[in-house]
Amino acid sequence: MTRPNSFDYQALLACGRGELFGDGNARLPAPPMLMFDRITKIADTGGAHGKGEIHAELDIHPRLWFFDCHFEGDPVMPGCLGLDAMWQLSGFFLPWLGEPGRGRALGVGQVKFTGQVLPSAKLVRYEIDIRRVMRGRLSMVIADGKTFVDDRLIYTASDMRVGLFQSTEGF
């Protein structure tokens, strides 16, 4: 089976509607919680650990929703949204591989914030390196991620875990 190695914004929206991986399977969040505009690269080889990688981008505009509310008079993108973007991308990897189920973030080993995204920025870039893919009763991906603003590293996350579940009742 040939899988696409990139996705434009319309394909990401289709994923959010459940059209990309089928009914009952993983979806990306809909805007405004979808935290990237395109996936520029996805591969099941390569990356820092040789097990796969994902690259995505978010175009920054001063009118993005979070700048109006975080913080009033001192606008900045919440760091947790950058972390969530890295979880979203890590979770996208499993259904892209063909794994069924609904995705849920399960944890992260360590997160570091060393910079910020301001309305004057132009581009946020995410790089995800897959550490491990587990398949069985629970499909899970373990990945490391980096977030860059205008090519400057600002966030890192290690051991991000996302699982796919057949049922999320009681989760």
Q: Which residues are catalytic?
A: 70
Strand partners, 107: 161
Q: Are 9 and 37 in contact (CB under 8 A)?
A: yes
Give the 3-state secondary structure of residue 40: strand
Give the 3-state secondary structure of residue 134: strand
Q: Which residue has the tokens 């966030």?
A: 155
Residue 17 C-alpha from the chain's centroid: 17
Radius of gyration of the chain (CA): 16
